[in-house]
Amino acid sequence: MSKTAILEYDGKKYEFPVIVGSENEPAIDINKLRDLTGAITLDPGYKNSGSCESKITFLDGEEGILRYRGYAIEDLAAKADFLEVAYLVIFGELPTKEVLAQFETDIRKYTLVNEEMKNIIDGFPKTAHPMGVLSSLTSALTAFNPKVVNVDNEKEMYEAVCKTMGKFLVIATWTYRKMMGYPLNYYDNTKGYVENFMRLMFELPTGPYAKNQVVIDALDKLFILHADHEQNCSTSTVRIVGSSHAGLFASISAGVSALWGPLHGGANQAVLEMLEDIQKDGGDADKYLAKAKDKEDPFRLMGFGHRVYKNFDPRAKIIKKAADEVLATLGVNDPILQIAKKLEESALVDEYFVSRKLYPNVDFYSGIIYRALGIPTEMFTVMFAIGRLPGWIAQWKEMRVNKEPIGRPRQIYTGYPLRDFVAMDKR
Ligand code: CMC
């Protein structure tokens, strides 16, 4: 028999259905709550509210589990490549060799970005943050691709996916080229997706670009680890913007803006800046640990804590190992790493952090590894966005295919009751 939940309110009892997910997560379905009782729920930050049912990603914060479409993140990071995982996340199944090859070929059809986009980039100052530029350029793609995709037409949806995967990577790297004053580069359709990322970023017209497979493999893994993370801030943004039937590029542009914040994807840049500040200030990690614990001090230890993971972040575990391997292979000896290690060791045994279940998250290590790979700090959050793109596309597609209603939360009004208008000369 299916479970129900009983609510007693204002002297009456109401019964609500309980929905159970495929991993036995219960949810009280309050769809009819306001109609029946006149009341709404209040849950700032949505700590207890599910916004949708989804088949894409399973995450258990207590157990530190992350799976895309049922596959463990550990397996995917070790055995698959980024485009394979992107296909899985977006379309639901692991691709065969042929399907994957076709997917890559189809993405390549869209890797040329309209030359007029360059006029738009020209308008930005060189000092603009790449995430702001990326959000604007993603939105600008709408102007060059005005046709709204019919989500119920599989062919159209597939083309929209390939187009987004192709063009987003190119414009993401253009934000860096703009910042550096380098000429904008073109995708090379004879090379792989992640290899192209490195080329697009660093190849200069003045000389050949030497490919480094260790760097490409590490980036591939990092992109996989970021590919989806269920209803986080940027993904919820993409879904809610898309719920008004705004297009895919417009919705993803909003997701980029949401990701930029230092409490979300912007944390990877903030971690590195924090480590540099500690270094400049003499390298005393304990001093900063004390600042993070001081309630009078707004400073937070960036890269620590997570809304959902209260045990450990499984992505952080994989990244930490990858960081150690990559740094050893590349022979990187960075003093910033010593500070990071000291912070991590001290926080993991500190009562404040232990009792609040604050562990290093994915952003704590990703910044360190990006730095070792030669990615500039301002680009760290853009890296996150490239990795998260398949997740945003998949969640947008699922929301539209499921015909979800427009996202429109309610509120509890706490402002003035009706007041008499006061004429200008009486104020
Ligand atoms: N440093 C010091 N104290 C912290 C930290 C931190 N990084 N994170 C949480 N706390 C404390 C917080 O002050 C509160 O203490 P108390 O109970 O005494 O008031 C308690 O821990 C619970 O924190 P919260 O802010 O209520 O937790 P939340 O679930 O709302 O926030 C978070 C989660 C990720 C926003 C937060 O932990 C944080 O700001 N971390 C630093 C930024 C960061 O690394 N973000 C990346 C998240 S992972 C990837 C991603 O989403 O992009």
pLDDT tens-digit series, residues 148-166: 899 999 999 999 999 999 9
- For the beta carbon of residue 46, count every other beta carbon within 10 angstroms: 13
How is residue 270 written in tokens? 């903030």
Give me ligand 1 centre to Cα 305, in Å.
5
Q: Are strands 12-20 and 26-28 parallel, antiparallel or unpaired?
A: antiparallel
pLDDT tens-digit series, residues 97-123: 999 999 999 999 999 999 999 999 999
pLDDT tens-digit series, residues 369-382: 898 888 999 999 99
pLDDT tens-digit series, residues 1-17: 689 999 999 999 999 99
pLDDT tens-digit series, residues 53-93: 999 999 999 899 999 999 999 999 999 999 999 999 999 99
Strand partners of residue 406: none
User: From the CA atom positions of the chain, what is the Rg in Å?
Assistant: 23
| Residue 1 confidence (pLDDT) | 67
Spatial neighbors of 210 by CB under 8 A, at least 6 apart, are none
| Residue 300 CB burial class (10 angstroms; 0-12, 13-18, ≥19) | middle
Q: Which residues are catalytic?
A: 306, 363
Is residue 269 within 6 Å of ligand 1 at its C-beta? no
Give me ligand 1 centre to Cα 306, in Å.
6
Residue listed under structure tokens 């009456």: 12
Specify the residue with its C-alpha closest to ligand 1, atom 22: 356
Give me ligand 1 centre to Cα 307, in Å.
7
Specify the residue with its C-alpha closest to ligand 1, atom 29: 307
Q: Report the distance separating Cα 83 and Cα 104, nearest Å.
A: 7
| Residue 83 confidence (pLDDT) | 98
On whether the CB atoms of residues 103 and 95 are closer than 8 A, the answer is yes
How is residue 187 written in tokens? 């995708």
- For the beta carbon of residue 19, count every other beta carbon within 10 angstroms: 14
What average pLDDT is seen over the chain?
Answer: 94
Kindly give the number of the ligand 1 atom that is closest to the alpha carbon of 265. Answer: 52
Is residue 56 within 6 Å of ligand 1 at its C-beta? no
Q: What is the mean pLDDT of residues 259-277?
A: 92
Kindly give the number of the ligand 1 atom that is closest to the alpha carbon of 384. Answer: 52
User: Which one-letter DSSP state was computed for residue 112?
Assistant: P
On whether the CB atoms of residues 255 and 238 are closer than 8 A, the answer is yes
